[in-house]
Structure 1
Amino acid sequence: MKTLIGRLNGAPLLSAWDEVPASMNATELVIGSADATMAGRLDWERKDPFGRMIVAQAARRGLTIATSDSQLIHGALTPVLVTR
């Protein structure tokens, strides 16, 4: 999204994206209907759908969130690794 709106030069990353998760031994986290339902039901002031989805997916799977976003830090339902 940030590449699309001109806030990030993401062309090099996007052109090689298929290799990036594999190089980090990461797996994709698919957004499921249960994730979307939980994100929509969060009792949280934040309107950003991406932040809500991150919190919902982490909560449903017991994952730690790595972020410097203060709203995510305070709204997370699971442990947070503060990256500041």
Structure 2
Amino acid sequence: MLLWLSVAPAHLETVGKALAGHPEVVFAAATTGETNVVVTVICPDMAALYGYLTRRVGPLPGVERVESAPSLRHVKQVGAVLP
């Protein structure tokens, strides 16, 4: 699941560090634009995603908005470049 967060600039570092410590998060980065944090999370089902968003992400200070999009299929994944 991809998440795009709008975070108040004063809270960007704090939110990033908090997300990096969540076991559900496999990737998190600061970005520019209307949303300034992108996160990839893995949850076993939609109920778990709902719980994660409402209990872990929503209460973080500075999080103003969250958009989500499910990943339906991977066509390429990050990996090592072989010689």
- Is TM-score (shorter-chain normalized) higher than 0.5? no
Bigger Rg, which one? 1
User: Which protein is richer in strand relative to its size?
Assistant: 2
